[in-house]
Amino acid sequence: QVQLVESGGGSVQAGGSLRLSCAASGYTWKWNCMGWFRQAPGKEREWVTGIYVGNRMTYYADSVKGRFTISQDNAKSTAYLQMNSLKPEDTAMYYCAAGFRSPPVSPLTGADFHYWGQGTQVTVSS
């Protein structure tokens, strides 16, 4: 069983910052990567970023490169998403996710994730 719980969402002005957290629990052998997705009303779910829990290699969607940073604590129990220079188009429900991809050096994409949290809302006003 894998459980993911997000926190840290809120409302900010364009250009502001937020830091999301994802607390993970369960057997670690069930996944080797964690990441974040987002979905705005009326739009499809979009993969944002991912990290391999073993080697901490990171990958980003083009829309957030240079602005968002994914990281993980030393115990590998919590993932973070630091979001800077936020734009109105970043407004969405943000979901933490976990999955598996082999070998763990291949660039991560949305198809690699299968476990989901319940989401935390991020709203960016212009």
pLDDT tens digits along 25-69:
887 767 899 999 999 999 999 999 999 999 999 999 999 999 999
Q: Rounded CA gap, 68 and 80, in Å?
A: 10
Q: Rounded CA gap, 119 and 108, in Å?
A: 20
Q: Rounded CA gap, 28 and 14, in Å?
A: 37
Residues sharing a CB contact under 8 Å with residue 62, sequence separation 6 or more, in sequence order: none
pLDDT tens digits along 70-117:
999 888 789 999 999 999 999 999 999 999 999 999 999 999 999 999
pLDDT score, position 75: 82
Q: Which residue in 113, 115, 89 sits closest to 6, CA to CA?
A: 115
- Do the beta carbons of residue 78 and residue 3 sit within 8 Å? no
